[in-house]
Chain A
Amino acid sequence: GNSVTQMEGPVTLSEEAFLTINCTYTATGYPSLFWYVQYPGEGLQLLLKATKADDKGSNKGFEATYRKETTSFHLEKGSVQVSDSAVYFCALSVTNQAGTALIFGKGTTLSVSS
């Protein structure tokens, strides 16, 4: 079946530190991969995506590369800010005739201190 595994948190970093949140997936076919972010008290927002192998998604200084050979989509940021504190979800999508079915990992909480 299709599944997503994320590193467990919480991840605690100081401002300007380097961030990596690991994500691996199991899927049939060729899924699209996503990172969503959830700030306190809010819904999930799409952070970045990649639709095929070797694609790199990027947004707001965050990056992730679709690695088919290692079935991974790790999220990275070179210098985190306090405002990046949130829960990050890795997800994959399987497309059918009606649209996409998104399967999420359990989420990783990031806490950044100044």
Chain B
Amino acid sequence: DSGVTQTPKHLITATGQRVTLRCSPRSGDLSVYWYQQSLDQGLQFLIQYYNGEERAKGNILERFSAQQFPDLHSELNLSSLELGDSALYFCASSQVTGGYGYTFGSGTRLTVV
């Protein structure tokens, strides 16, 4: 157990729908990062939150949004889902100071049918 908890582990939904993925960071970590992993695009950085505030944006679509709550858990919202959104979504967390890498959760596998 890495200490980063992601729920649900699997999600199957239809095109056009909206889903919410949840992440609880490792205890003491203030930064949360979301990544999308697909076969063709590899591991793509989506967005970073630090202590409730958005800090960095990567290749995140406008249909996607995220937030980090006062208890530091984070949610990634995916709307108007398309078949191409099917992927593994990973959450990771880190301490404030850098150089030590991230701790990853086990991911949420999203299948859009």
Give A contacts to B, CB under 8 Å. 32, 34, 36, 42-46, 49, 51, 89, 91, 93-96, 98-107
Contact = CB atoms under 8 A, between A and B. Distances in A.
Given A43-B106, A44-B104, A101 B48 contact: yes
A84 B79 CA distance: 38
B101 A101 contact: no
Interface string B69-101: 000000000000000000000101011111111
A6 B4 CA distance: 27
B104 A100 contact: no
B99 A95 contact: yes
Contact of A106 (B4, B42, B45): B42
B101 A98 contact: no
Interface of B: 2, 4, 30-31, 33, 42-43, 45, 48, 50, 55-56, 90, 92, 94-107
A107 B42 contact: yes
A49 B101 CA distance: 8
A100 B99 contact: yes
Contacts, number: 81
A67 B50 CA distance: 31
A78 B97 CA distance: 33
A87 to B, nearest CB: 10
14 contacts: A32-B98, A45-B2, A45-B104, A49-B100, A49-B101, A89-B43, A91-B101, A99-B31, A99-B48, A100-B102, A101-B56, A102-B45, A102-B101, A104-B45
A45 B98 CA distance: 17
A46 B31 CA distance: 17
A99 B96 contact: yes
